[in-house]
A and B are shown apart, each in its own frame.
Chain A
Amino acid sequence: DQAVSDNELQEMSNQGSKYINKEIQNAVNGVKQIKNLIERTNEERKILLNNLEEAKKKKEDVLNETRDSEMKLKAFPGVCNETMMALWEECKPCLKQTCMKFYARVCRSGSGLVGRQLEEFLNQSSPFYFWINGDRIDSLLEDDRQQSHMLDVMQDRFSRASSIMDELFQDRFFTHEPQDSFRSFPFGLTPWRPHFLFPKSRFVR
């Protein structure tokens, strides 16, 4: 062991405290860096939102074209009714059997209720619905509804968080630059004292 004098200990303490002071300022800067990251992420989100708006417009235009074609097709007189109905009567039992096998094997719960529901569904459906891919159209419309709802919910929540963050980041803490020297006491009472916080000072009086 080598002896260390009190003077040396004091000098080491002085140096160590300078480093700690620097690290305190780094910690403050760390908060600001995270703030910058949040703001950058928010900018990226806004760009993504613009992309979503454009994509939504395109999707809805095509969906409208699809529905338009569907309506026009439905308006045609049913020239194939007999052929389709005959095929449908043969299609239904196969479809029911295939579906129930799948359900029992994969989905498992509540097969009895599903079977009755399926019977009713098939009896009420028409082959024309198949022929125009009505199930795919309905699936798309449902997806569209879900997607709109999802975006609305995300937008609503994020805008609330965003307004809170805007207010937070406008605070002086995030806009004020810390001093650079040792003994600047970024938060301490002396010697640097933010005057607006300490009205006892002569400056404020």
Chain B
Amino acid sequence: SLMPFSPYEPPSFQDMFQPFFDMIHQAQQAMDVHFHSPAFQHPQMDLIREGDDDRTVCREIRHNSTGCLRMKDQCEKCREILSVDCSASDPSQAQLRQELNDSLQLAELLTKRYNDLLHSYQRKMLNTSSLLEQLNEQFSWVSQLANLTQGEDQYYLRVTTVASHTSDSDAPSGVTEVVVKLFDSDPITVTVPVEVSRKNPKFMETVAEKALQEYRKKSRE
């Protein structure tokens, strides 16, 4: 809750914004713990990746030797077992075996498709995790701005000096250097191409934009 604990005191900055940060962090933790959980680190997870991957086969062999059965096609007598026809006394057995093989093939296809869907789902969750990180960063910036604008000073940005440097005809375009103080910052120097006149609204727009970028960059550092 962002309501003040006492009805007779204004909320502090911490009272107002900390609950947001806490909730964003809790949501991030719920997601991050998930991706570091044993379910995602368990070696057997790789079993549901692409079929005859060497790592998967090695794991199966170590686990219970079933990985060795994947190599049955490399042995002639093993291949012959698969072609043994036991339907001499009962033709329905051959049909049943065919049905088994057909449904097995379909089951393998559907399992692979399901696997692809699971990975898409996992990607969605990774996207959400990344967006939570962006939310945290953006909200952090907003709360910083909120804190900086609590004061009585009507000017968030103060221009202290302006110096235009015109160029020779042989030199590249000159710049106008503007030194500003933004909120509580040390002086920030930004430049504007000399072609943009001070009277042009674009001038101060450029100054303010660059100063704010510089301020934010320094805050992050």
Let me know if A114 and B128 touch, CB within 8 A.
Answer: no
A14: chain B residues at CB < 8 Å are: 155
* Total number of B residues with any Cβ neighbor in A under 8 Å: 116
Q: Residue on B with the closest CB to A174? A: B20
B69: chain A residues at CB < 8 Å are: 95, 130, 135
Q: Residue on A with the closest CB to B38? A: A153
A70: chain B residues at CB < 8 Å are: 100
Let me know if A196 and B3 touch, CB within 8 A.
Answer: yes
A66: chain B residues at CB < 8 Å are: 100, 103-104, 107
A38: chain B residues at CB < 8 Å are: 128, 131-132, 135
Report the minimum CB–CB distance from B30 to chain A (whole Å): 4
- How long is the Cα–Cα vector from A52 to B114 in the complex, in angstroms? 7
Let me know if A186 and B149 touch, CB within 8 A.
Answer: yes
With A20-B156, A69-B103, A183-B154 as given contacts, are A41 and B23 in contact (CB-CB < 8 Å)? Answer: no
With A31-B138, A91-B77 as given contacts, are A110 and B62 in contact (CB-CB < 8 Å)? Answer: yes
Let me know if A151 and B121 touch, CB within 8 A.
Answer: yes
A98 within 8 A of B: yes
Let me know if B97 and A197 touch, CB within 8 A.
Answer: no
Counted as pairs of residues, one from A and one from B, with CB atoms less than 8 Å apart, the total is: 331
Let me know if A28 and B142 touch, CB within 8 A.
Answer: yes
A76 within 8 A of B: yes
Let me know if A35 and B164 touch, CB within 8 A.
Answer: no
Let me know if B145 and A187 touch, CB within 8 A.
Answer: yes
B135: chain A residues at CB < 8 Å are: 31, 34-35, 38
- How long is the Cα–Cα vector from A14 to B201 in the complex, in angstroms? 12
B150 within 8 A of A: yes
Among A8, A95, A153, which residue has its beta carbon within 8 angstroms of that of B75?
A95
B48-74: CB near A (< 8 Å → 1, else 0) gives 100000100110011011111111101
What residues make up the interface of A, taking CB atoms closer than 8 Å to B? Answer: 1-2, 4, 8-9, 12-17, 19-21, 23-24, 27-28, 30-31, 34-35, 37-38, 41-42, 44-45, 48-49, 51-52, 55-56, 58-59, 62-63, 65-66, 69-70, 72-73, 76, 79-80, 83-84, 87-88, 90-91, 94-96, 98-99, 102-103, 106-107, 110, 114, 117-118, 120-122, 127, 130-133, 135-140, 142-144, 146-147, 149-151, 153-154, 156-158, 160-161, 164-165, 167-168, 171-173, 183, 185-190, 196-200
A selection of 29 A-B contacts at a CB cut-off of 8 Å is A13-B155, A19-B205, A19-B209, A20-B157, A31-B142, A37-B131, A52-B118, A52-B121, A59-B107, A62-B106, A63-B107, A73-B97, A91-B80, A99-B68, A106-B54, A106-B57, A106-B58, A107-B62, A121-B65, A131-B86, A142-B47, A149-B39, A168-B27, A171-B20, A187-B145, A188-B149, A189-B10, A197-B2, A200-B8
What residues make up the interface of B, taking CB atoms closer than 8 Å to A? Answer: 2-4, 7-8, 10-11, 16, 20, 23-24, 26-28, 30-31, 33-34, 37, 39-40, 44-45, 47-48, 54, 57-58, 61-62, 64-72, 74-78, 80-82, 84-86, 88-90, 93, 96-97, 99-101, 103-104, 106-108, 110-111, 113-115, 117-118, 120-122, 124-125, 127-128, 131-132, 134-135, 138-139, 141-142, 145-146, 149-150, 152, 154-165, 178, 180, 182, 198, 201, 203-205, 207-209, 211-212
